[in-house]
Amino acid sequence: MATVAATLAESEDPGALVFAAAGEWLVATAAELDRRLRAIQLPSGKRVTFDLAGIDRLDTAGAWLLLRTEHDLAARGNAVEIRNLRSNFAPLLDQVRAGGMVVPAPHPRPAHHTITGFLARIGEISLGLFARAYSILGFFGAVCATAGRLLRGPRRLRMTALVAQMEQTGVNALPIVGLLSFLIGVVLAYQGADQLRRFGAQIYTVNLLGAGILRELGVLMTAIIIAGRSGSAFTAQIGTMRVNEEIDALRTIGLDPIEVLVIPRLFGLMLTLPMLTLYANILGLFGGCLMAWSSLGITPPQFLRQLQSSLYPWTFWIGLIKAPFFAFIIALIGCYEGFQVARSAESVGRLTTLSVVEAIFLVIVADAGFSIFFSIIRI
Amino acid sequence: MPDHPGEPIIRVRGLVNRFGAETVHDGLDLDVLRGEVLGIVGGSGSGKSVLLRTIVGLNRPVEGQVEVFGRDVLEMSDRQRRELENRWGVLFQDGALFSSLTVAQNIEVPIKEYYDIPLQLMDEISAVKVGMVGLSEEAGEKYPFELSGGMRKRAGLARALALDPEIVFLDEPTAGLDPIAAGAFDELIRDLKTSLGLTVVMVTHDLDSLFAICDRVAVLVDKKVRIGTLEQLLKDNHPWIHSYFHGPRGRAAQHSEVRALTKQEARSAAPV
Residue B265 predicted with pLDDT over 60? no
| Domain-embedded: residue B13 | no
What does the pLDDT read at residue A110?
62
| Domain-embedded: residue B20 | no
User: Do A153 and A65 fall into the same domain?
Assistant: no
What does the pLDDT read at residue B263?
56
| Domain-embedded: residue B51 | no
Please report residues of A whose CB lies closer than 8 A to that of B105: 107
| Domain-embedded: residue A340 | yes
**Edge-to-edge order in the sheet of strand B167-171:** B88-91, B167-171, B199-203, B37-42, B216-221, B224-228
What does the pLDDT read at residue B271?
47
User: Do A63 and A170 fall into the same domain?
Assistant: no
User: What's the total number of domains in chain A?
Assistant: 2
Listed range (A79-88, A220-229, B61-70) with the worst mean pLDDT? A79-88
Mean pLDDT of B144-158: 85
What does the pLDDT read at residue A304?
92
Strands, E assignment, chain B: 8-19, 22-33, 37-42, 63-68, 71-72, 88-91, 167-171, 199-203, 216-221, 224-228
| Domain-embedded: residue A185 | yes
What does the pLDDT read at residue B258?
60
Please report residues of B whose CB lies closer than 8 A to that of A94: 195
Give the whole-angstrom CA distance, residue A154 versus residue A144: 14
Which is more confidently placed, B143 or A127? A127
| Domain-embedded: residue A79 | yes
| Domain-embedded: residue A247 | yes
User: Do A153 and A26 fall into the same domain?
Assistant: no
What does the pLDDT read at residue A228?
95
Give the whole-angstrom CA distance, residue A306 versus residue A308: 5
User: Do A59 and A175 fall into the same domain?
Assistant: no
User: What's the total number of domains in chain B?
Assistant: 1
Shortest Cα–Cα distance, B138 to chain A (Å): 7
Question: Which chain B residue's Cα is nearest to A32?
Answer: B117
The domain of B134 spans 88-164
**Do A60 and B105 count as a contact with CB atoms less than 8 A apart?**
no
What does the pLDDT read at residue A223?
96
User: Do A72 and A146 fall into the same domain?
Assistant: no
Listed range (A43-52, A283-292, B12-21) with the worst mean pLDDT? A43-52
**Do B194 and A61 count as a contact with CB atoms less than 8 A apart?**
no
Select from A27, A346, A350 the residue whose CB has the most chain B CBs within 10 Å, as the one to mutate to test that interface. A27
A91, A104, A346 member nearest B99 (Cβ)? A346
B121, B127, B196 member nearest A34 (Cβ)? B121
ipTM metric:
0.72
What does the pLDDT read at residue A266?
95
Residue B67 predicted with pLDDT over 70? yes
Q: How confident is the model at residue B181 (pLDDT cuts 50, 70, 90)?
A: confident
| Domain-embedded: residue B112 | yes
Give the whole-angstrom CA distance, residue A108 versus residue B230: 47
Residue A172 predicted with pLDDT over 60? yes
Q: pLDDT, tens digit, for every residue of B94-138?
A: 778 888 888 888 888 888 888 888 888 888 888 888 888 888 888
Which is more confidently placed, B4 or A364? A364
Mean pLDDT of A254-269: 92
Mean pLDDT of B179-203: 83
**Do A346 and B140 count as a contact with CB atoms less than 8 A apart?**
no
Q: How confident is the model at residue A229 (pLDDT cuts 50, 70, 90)?
A: very high
Which is more confidently placed, A314 or A275? A275
Mean pLDDT of A337-352: 89
**Do B131 and A91 count as a contact with CB atoms less than 8 A apart?**
no
User: Do A86 and A146 fall into the same domain?
Assistant: no
Listed range (A122-126, A139-143, B102-106) with the worst mean pLDDT? B102-106
Give the whole-angstrom CA distance, residue B240 versus residue B42: 9
Please report residues of B whose CB lies closer than 8 A to that of A26: 164
| Domain-embedded: residue A1 | no
Domain edge (last residue) among A39, A67, A98: A98
**Do A343 and B128 count as a contact with CB atoms less than 8 A apart?**
no
Which is more confidently placed, A354 or B236? A354
What does the pLDDT read at residue A220?
95
Q: Which residues are registered as beta bridge partners of A21?
A: A8
What does the pLDDT read at residue B1?
38
Mean pLDDT of B39-46: 84
Mean pLDDT of A322-328: 96
Mean pLDDT of A342-346: 79
| Domain-embedded: residue B79 | no
User: Do A90 and A155 fall into the same domain?
Assistant: no
Size of interface A-B (CB pairs under 8 A): 101
Q: How confident is the model at residue A111 (pLDDT cuts 50, 70, 90)?
A: low
Give the whole-angstrom CA distance, residue B117 versus residue A82: 25
Residue B2 predicted with pLDDT over 50? no
DSSP 8-class letter at A156: G
A94, A107, A346 member nearest B195 (Cβ)? A94
Q: Is A291 exposed, middle or buried (0-12, 13-18, 19+ CB in 10 A)?
A: buried
**Do A99 and B144 count as a contact with CB atoms less than 8 A apart?**
no
Domain edge (last residue) among A66, A98, A130: A98
Shortest Cα–Cα distance, A29 to chain B (Å): 9
| Domain-embedded: residue B8 | no
Please report residues of A whose CB lies closer than 8 A to that of B130: 102, 105
What does the pLDDT read at residue A2?
43
Element (H, E) at A19: strand A16-25
| Domain-embedded: residue B228 | no
Mean pLDDT of B34-62: 86
B111, B128, B140 member nearest A64 (Cβ)? B128
Mean pLDDT of A104-122: 76
Element (H, E) at A47: strand A47-58
Mean pLDDT (chain B) is 82
Give the list of residues 6+ apart from residue B184 with CB closer than 8 angstroms, or none. Answer: B134
Shortest Cα–Cα distance, A347 to chain B (Å): 10
In chain A, the percentage of residues whose pLDDT exceeds 70 is: 96
Neighbour tally for B170: CB within 10 Å: 27
User: Do A158 and A239 fall into the same domain?
Assistant: yes
Question: Which chain B residue's Cα is nearest to A62?
Answer: B125
What does the pLDDT read at residue A378?
78
Q: How confident is the model at residue A51 (pLDDT cuts 50, 70, 90)?
A: confident
Residue A48 predicted with pLDDT over 70? yes
**pTM of the entire structure?**
0.70
What does the pLDDT read at residue A213?
93
Q: How confident is the model at residue B264 (pLDDT cuts 50, 70, 90)?
A: low
**Edge-to-edge order in the sheet of strand A47-58:** A6-13, A16-25, A47-58, A80-83
Residue A9 predicted with pLDDT over 50? yes
What does the pLDDT read at residue A357?
95
The domain of A172 spans 141-376
Which is more confidently placed, B90 or B45? B90
User: Do A152 and A87 fall into the same domain?
Assistant: no
Q: How confident is the model at residue A44 (pLDDT cuts 50, 70, 90)?
A: confident
Please report residues of A whose CB lies closer than 8 A to that of B99: 344-346
Please report residues of A whose CB lies closer than 8 A to that of B164: 26-27, 59-61
User: Do A227 and A295 fall into the same domain?
Assistant: yes
Instruction: Please choose, from the candidates B260, B253, B195, B255, the residue with its C-alpha nearest in 3D space to the C-alpha of residue B41.
Output: B253
| Domain-embedded: residue B99 | yes
Task: Judge whether B196 is closer than 8 Å to chain A, CB to CB.
Answer: yes
| Domain-embedded: residue A131 | no
CA atoms within 13 A on the CB side of B87: 14
What does the pLDDT read at residue B125?
86
What CATH number corresponds to the domain at position A27?
3.30.750.24
| Domain-embedded: residue A69 | yes
Q: How far is CA B74 from CA A285, B12, B69, B80, B81, in A?
A: 58, 11, 13, 11, 9
Shortest Cα–Cα distance, A28 to chain B (Å): 6
Mean pLDDT (chain A) is 88
Give the highest mean pLDDT range of A160-169, A250-259, B21-30, B55-64. A160-169
